A and B are shown apart, each in its own frame.
Chain A
Amino acid sequence: MSTTTRFPNELITKYGLAGPRYTSYPTALQFHESFDDEAYRRNINSSNNDLIPRPLSLYVHLPFCQQLCYYCACNKKVTRNTQLAEEYLYRLDKEIEMQGDLFDNDRQVIQLHFGGGTPTYYDDAQLKHIVDQLSRNFLFSRSSSREFSIEIDPRTVDEERIANLGDIGFNRVSMGIQDFDPAVQKAVNRIQDEAATLRLIDAARQSGFNSVSVDLIYGLPLQTPQSFERTIDSVLSVRPDRLSVYNYAHLPHLFRAQRMIKQDDVPKPEVRLRLLDSTIRKLVEAGYVYIGMDHFALPDDELALAREDGTLQRNFQGYSTCRQTDLVGMGVSAIGKVGNSFVQNLKDIRAWESSLDDNKLPVWRGLQLNREDCIRREVISAIMCQGQVLFEKFEEKFDIDFCDHFALELESLKPLEIDGLVEIQEQRIDVTATGLLLLRAIGMKFDEYLIKDMHGKSYSKVI
């Protein structure tokens, strides 16, 4: 993507409405409790019976953190009581065993991700234990192209731990930074040493990690475009393979931790625009490819290559290169995707543990996709991942007349076309460079549930 000569402020303001991130479609808002563990099992059975069952992607949620970051909207538990964390592990062992039993044992795990909370809250021995338990109950791919990644809080690891994590089997890492500016760090209660963090990124490279990703957040309290630019410059000095630059969504009524952040300190919309503008400009100038949504990658990184050749996917962790897998979510609140269904674990740690103690799968809710869901999911995915929708592909695959089927949606895209976000032709829709900044707004036009219900959901602002 070439930088637009002028950042489209008005457009971003105009389309900066509430919008889902579409890490799934339908979104988790559509999950419901009548999708139970029986439904989950049925979907697993069906997927096991495919002619060539899909390989697996495993997600493990480790919710514990030592300290509270005020911006956090994740499912987490802040505690110094390591006993709690250990008890969580006993149940996790059990869940891994139970879930492993359900999937045919010739289905290879080609992707693994530890998220949280802070996965590195646990020490290396504990993390190794979890990986071992997973490898006992699932078939790990032995290919070097497998993606085993872990989220790291740099404050909890040193060079030695990084090396150990590599030994355990991880070959990808994402480091939480958010912002190096001391005032911002203080305002969000995340004091993190800049030099130490940069050293760790280097160490990760030395230890053979294939792809080092860094998480930043713009829109944090007390951020200014100048201060954030400094953070970016600093991060660029170690040239991470990927950057995720998330937008801070100030929703204190939804997320308790955020009540510690003063509304007045949160950058106003115009400032956020400038933050976003300068971030994109800097990264693109430094040679990064804008993948879409919140992701940037070096041009020879797999994400960038996948975007080039049209194989880019999107999942709950964001963009991914992994070919079609079924996702097994383990741990509290974890989300899985099997066949045409989603499933989510219980959100409360005690309830999750209790369920496993009763030998029951800790399923909270989920969703069985119908045909319409499947079609729209692919349209939204095409928008998010390929920046184009080729009608013929959908007509062939789903036996529909695209223009007929989506007559209303295409009509609703016309204003976006006038504003230069998309180009609509007879047989295709293309996302423009401007539209790339506003993918959500485009995707929303095909979201059947949003269309049906235009009022009152609290999504974060798009920008």
Chain B
Amino acid sequence: MMSSDSQQKPYLADRQQVACSQCVLSNLCLPRNLDESDTEQFEHLVNKSHPIQPGEHIFRAGDKFQSISAVRAGCFKSYIIDKNGEEQVLGFYLPGEIIGFDAIHEQTHKANVVALDTSSVCGLSFDSVSEMARQLPLLQEELFRVMSLQISELAANAADLSADERIARLLYSLSSRFASRGYSSKEFNLSMSRRDIASNLRLATETVSRVLARFQSAGIISVNRKKVAILDLDKLRELARRDAPSLSGE
């Protein structure tokens, strides 16, 4: 199981020592509610990856589904190619977030997933995880919770929001996600380009910059190249929530 994973996914090392309990993401990742001995059991399922370079893919649409990946470090984007050959960005994944759930029902990955930064992931055979989840209710709960989180995010993206609202939502979401990872909620470096953001939010690239520039003039944020500082988190939250389905989880 492990070795065939490594064959298909060369970035996954052959069974490296993984210590989930010591991982900096231990309060975010799948085994977060498990006790010590269960966590140890869980660790046996995990393959740690080599560093993944920006531009390197970990999943391609059409790949047979075998494992899900938890982001250890860096940032990934998932995208599909639409009928015009254009890239449509589906979402971004930060450390602690799980990639690959979309592949479950057809046992095939639907989206391409590529690293935006130097990154690393932990690969988990989904069969093994589900098997363990059947025995450990806390793990099963966590799996469902994470899947549900991702689904509700997508639902929110489908709502008819203005450009301002979409961008505020994304910024707010990223801010919260960075905060829960121990980074500042107020200042963070984005790995995704304005093009990626535009594609994800279904806006024109110029619109993204125009809105960000407007937020900056209004003193809500400060932008420098790819770095964002949130100056008025309350205002941002307000812009993000107006008429919108509630933000999930955060």
A and B held together in a complex: yes
A residues with a Cβ closer than 8 A to B are 49-53, 104, 106, 339
Contact present for A51 and B226 (CB under 8 Å) = yes
- B150 interfacial by beta-carbon distance below 8 Å: no
Given the complex, which residues of B lie within 8 Å of A339, measured CB to CB?
225
B206 touches A106 (CB 8 A): yes
Q: Which of A49, A52, A104, A106 contacts B212 (CB 8 A)?
A: A52
**Which candidate, B45-53, B74-82, B190-198, is the interface stretch facing chain A?**
B190-198
Assess the B205–A51 pair: CB atoms within 8 A.
Answer: no
8 cross-chain CB contacts under 8 A: A49-B193, A49-B226, A50-B193, A51-B190, A52-B194, A52-B212, A106-B205, A106-B210
Complex contact A50–B226 (CB within 8 A) = yes
Q: Within the complex, what minimum Cβ distance (angstroms) separates A393 from chain B?
A: 13
> Taking the nearest CB of chain B, how far is it from the CB of A396, in angstroms?
11
A52 in contact with B213 (CB, 8 Å): yes
- Determine whether B223 belongs to the interface, using a CB cutoff of 8 Å to chain A: yes
State which of B206, B210, B216, B225 has its C-beta within 8 Å of the C-beta of A50: B225
Excluding A51-B212, A51-B226, 13 further A-B contacts by CB distance (< 8 Å) are: A49-B193, A49-B195, A49-B226, A50-B225, A51-B208, A51-B223, A51-B228, A52-B194, A52-B209, A52-B213, A53-B209, A106-B210, A339-B225
Q: How far is the CA of A38 from the CA of B216 in the complex (A)?
A: 33
Q: How many A-B residue pairs have CB under 8 A?
A: 33
- In the bound assembly, the distance between CA atoms of A145 and B205 in angstroms comes to 25
In B210-226, the 8 Å CB interface with A consists of 210, 212-213, 216, 223, 225-226
- C-alpha spacing A50/B192, complex, angstroms: 9
Question: Measured between C-beta atoms, what is the minimum distance from B194 to chain A in Å?
Answer: 5
CB distance from B214 to the nearest CB of A (A): 10
- Main secondary structure, interface of B, reads helix
Give complex CA distance A53, B213 in Å.
Answer: 10
For the complex, give the distance between the alpha carbons of A243 and B209 in Å.
38
| Separation of A50 and B216 alpha carbons in the complex (Å) | 14
CA distance A104 to B226 in the complex (A): 16
Measured in the bound complex, the distance between the Cα atoms of B212 and A52 in whole Å is 7
The minimal Cβ–Cβ distance linking B188 to chain A, given in whole angstroms, is 12
- Give, as a whole number of angstroms, the nearest-CB distance from B250 to chain A: 21
Closest to B213 in A: A52
Q: Which residues of A contact B205 (CB under 8 A)?
A: 104, 106
Chain B's closest residue to A105 (CB) is B206
Name the residue on A nearest B208 (C-beta): A51
Residues of A with C-beta under 8 A to B226: 49-51
Assess the A51–B195 pair: CB atoms within 8 A.
Answer: no
Contacts of B197 in A (CB 8 A): 51
CB distance from A101 to the nearest CB of B (A): 16
How far is A115 from B219 in the complex, measured between Cα atoms in Å?
A: 38
| CB neighbours of A51 from chain B (8 A) | 190, 194, 197, 208-209, 212, 223, 225-226, 228
Residue of B190, B194, B205, B223 most packed against chain A (CB within 10 A):
B194
Question: Closest CB-CB distance, A206 to chain B, in whole Å?
Answer: 36
Q: Are A52 and B206 in contact (CB under 8 A)?
A: no
* Contact between B209 and A106, CB atoms less than 8 A apart: yes
Chain A residues near B210 (CB, 8 Å)?
A: 106
Expressed in whole angstroms, the minimum distance between the Cβ of B94 and any Cβ of chain A is: 17
Within the complex, the shortest CB–CB distance from B23 to chain A, in Å, comes to 24
Residues of B within 8 A of A106 (CB): 205-206, 209-210
CB distance from A230 to the nearest CB of B (A): 49
Which 4 A-B pairs give the minimum distances between C-beta atoms?
Answer: A49-B193, A106-B206, A50-B225, A52-B209
Question: Bound complex: CA of A339 vs CA of B225, how far in Å?
Answer: 9
Q: Please report the C-alpha to C-alpha distance between residue A50 and residue B223 in the assembled complex, in whole angstroms.
A: 9
Residues in A whose Cβ lies below 8 Å from that of B216: 52
Chain A residue, CB-CB nearest to B211:
A52
Which B158-215 residues have a C-beta within 8 angstroms of A?
Answer: 190, 193-195, 197, 205-206, 208-210, 212-213
A53–B205 alpha-carbon span in the complex (Å):
11
Which residues of B lie under 8 Å from residue A49 when comparing CB positions? 193-195, 226
* CB nearest neighbor in B for A104: B205
Residue in B closest to A340 when the chains form the complex, CB atoms: B225
Chain B CB within 10 A, most for which of A52, A53, A339: A52
